[in-house]
Amino acid sequence: MFTAKRGRLAAVAAVAVGAVVALAGCASGDPLDSGNSADEASATLVIGSQDYYSNEIIAEIYAQALESNGFTVDRQFKIGQREVYLPEIESGTIDVFPEYTGSLLQVLKENAAGGTADETYAQLQDELPEGLSVLDMASATDQNSWTVTQAFADKYSLTDIASLADVTEPITVGGPSELQTRPYGPTTLTEKYGIPIAGFTPIEDGGGPLTIKALVDNDIQITNVYTASPNIKSDSLVALDDPDGLFFADNVVPLVSDKVDEKAADVLNAVSAALTAEDLVSLNSESVNDELSAEKIAAAWLEQANLF
Amino acid sequence: MNLFQDALNWILDPANYAGPGGIPVRLVEHLVFTVAAVLMACAIAIPVGFLIGHTGRGRSLAVATSGGLRAIPTLGLLTLVALWVGIGLGAPSVALTVLAIPPILAGAYAGFEAIDRSVIDSARSVGMSESQIVRTVEIPLGMPLLIAGIRSATLQVIATATLAAYVADIGLGRFLFAGLKTRDYAEMLGGSLLVILLALTLEGIFTVMQRLVVPRGVASGRTPVDRARSARPVPGMDPAITKGTH
């Protein structure tokens, strides 16, 4: 009996120690480190994209444009959020990535000044790490915004963010967890504009259907929706004006490595020159509402834009 | 950088204990929400399980249904329900209840089935009514397996209840999502450790409970339970008695 009990105790202890060792093991390494593979055939350009459908469409446009100009490309799409892929680009595993000027700047320099589209672009060029550069930016933007329903905006005659201070009912902010701590988050609304915020409701689908439904159902009153979202039109939402530049301008821009030569840069710059804000909304709409693949949407846009 | 150490520091940091988003509040929310979901599942699964166990009918249907329920991805179900009823506690409640039903249902009917048929036959032969048999014989004898089912359901729910934070401001899942999204991996791991701690605590409570619910007569005898059904139906007996035999 005694030995059986001790045996069991030993087994429990062994499992416990094993668990701690295993946890410590996975905790001490960098969870996002995936090794290096920088020195591959230099002829192939690796194109990455975020795990965001709109970003993937732009990446696919880059890929097809480069392909029709004789480049070999390797598509590494849907990598995830900026936190995940930025180290990959810096280590040289990815050569071309569709980015957004303001959001990228804020990651590279936490207390960046921001400003207009051109100011943001200029600051971004200064902050880029060695070996990386941005090509010309497009006029297309896809930026964060404080968004309300048309009905809510009409009720309180809302036009810009500051006018939210006139709202007399409690305002609940909804959105993904990170929104709560972002520089343009609920705290700033209260401190800068005196807007009373009743609470924060987490909805973790990143401005997806659950967030839109919560807004339309009036479960939440404001949320962060990307300005190129087709939902703004299809669900009658209003992105409030941001005259003070609370959100940075987020123009679409290709982030590239040294491996992108002048010829490839010309191709990408031609794409950026043609990509307008309206184009981006309709590209997104084709994905969300018509459920077309990124490949088809990109091919159709390149043809219609008369590129390559 | 040792994340594990950081996570422990995060758990021990007094700053994380204050206010409506502090660790104690989240722990209580998580626990209450878990208990509520398990109780809802119990309210559905136990009566159905007892009925199946007592009559011996519908077992294959129950096995197939609960097998199907087990295969439903909880996040998918949660999103689907949330698109229908909106954000808040409704969708996670439904999803977690569905998650908890199969083990409890299985525990309820398996507890009845594991009883030696001769015990039930003798209860019937001394003149007990069907409801008496259920209340005084089958439920007490089946209790250990039922508690085991509830235990396994609770463990699943307590880990999965982190998903409630996907659409509602509740529970320890808030630390996981917030930590993940803001690259605060210490917070994320710290939140996970709290979930593990909570699960282990409940496991301990259930272990004690499982011992306590064994009827005194069974506990003192502790003869190996003969799981076989009564081998030969006694001729001339009421057919209802042999219903449990296969």
Which CATH number covers residue B56? 1.10.3720.10
Name the H helices within chain A.
2-28, 53-67, 82-90, 101-108, 117-127, 150-155, 186-193, 209-216, 231-234, 262-274, 277-288, 294-304
Chain B hits for A204, Cβ within 8 Å: 165-167, 177, 181
> Which residues 102-121 on chain B approach chain A with CB closer than 8 angstroms?
none
CB–CB contact A27 B82 (8 Å)? no
Which of the two residues, A243 and B202, has the higher pLDDT score?
Answer: B202
**What Å distances lie between residue A267 and A255, A307, B207, CA to CA?**
14, 9, 67
pLDDT at A296: 94
pLDDT at B101: 95
pLDDT at A203: 93
| ipTM attached to this prediction | 0.73
Cα distance between residue B46 and residue B7, in whole Å: 39
Mean pLDDT across B146-165: 95
Contacts of B135 (CB under 8 A, 6+ apart): none
Residues A89 and A58 in one domain: yes
HSE-up of residue B29 (Cα within 13 Å, Cβ side): 21
Q: At residue B243, does pLDDT exceed 60?
A: no
Residues A136 and A160 in one domain: no
pLDDT at A98: 95
Q: Is residue B160 part of a domain?
A: yes
Residues A268 and A187 in one domain: no
Sign of the CA dihedral B107, B109, B110, B114?
A: positive
The percent of residues in chain B predicted with pLDDT above 90, rounded, is: 67
pLDDT at A9: 59
Residues A161 and A276 in one domain: no
What stretches in chain A show pLDDT beneath 70? 1-42
Residue with tokens 């699960």: B199
Task: Name the residue of chain B whose CA is nearest to A28's CA.
Answer: B2
Q: At residue B201, does pLDDT exceed 60?
A: yes
Mean pLDDT of chain B: 87
Mean pLDDT across B225-243: 48
Q: At residue B202, does pLDDT exceed 70?
A: yes
CB–CB contact A219 B86 (8 Å)? yes
From A277's Cα to the closest Cα of chain B, the distance in A is 28
Q: Final residue of a domain: which of A212, A239, A266?
A: A239
Residues A97 and A74 in one domain: yes
Q: Is residue B219 part of a domain?
A: no
pLDDT at A246: 86
3-state helix, strand, coil in chain A (%, to 5): 45, 15, 40
B167 touches chain A (CB under 8 A): yes
Which range has the worst mean pLDDT, A147-151, B141-145, B222-226? Answer: B222-226
CB–CB contact B87 A205 (8 Å)? no
B90 touches chain A (CB under 8 A): no
> What's the total number of domains in chain B?
1
Residues A133 and A181 in one domain: no
CA neighbor of A93 nearest in space, from A110, A113, A79: A79
Which of the two residues, B234 and A81, has the higher pLDDT score?
Answer: A81
Cα distance between residue A181 and residue B231, in whole Å: 68
Instruction: Give the CATH number of the domain where residue A171 resides.
Output: 3.40.190.120
Smallest Cβ–Cβ distance between B167 and the set A83, A199, A203 belongs to: A203
Q: Residue B114 burial (CB < 10 Å; 0-12/13-18/19+)?
A: middle
Q: At residue B147, does pLDDT exceed 90?
A: yes
CB–CB contact B165 A204 (8 Å)? yes
Range of A257's domain?
Answer: 44-142+249-304
Q: Which helix (H) or strand (E) holds B31?
A: helix B23-55
Cα distance between residue A82 and residue A55, in whole Å: 12
| B38: confidence class by pLDDT, cuts 50, 70, 90 | very high
Range of B103's domain?
Answer: 34-169
Instruction: Give the CATH number of the domain where residue A288 resides.
Output: 3.40.190.10
> What's the total number of domains in chain A?
2
pLDDT in tens, A65-85: 999 999 999 999 988 778 778
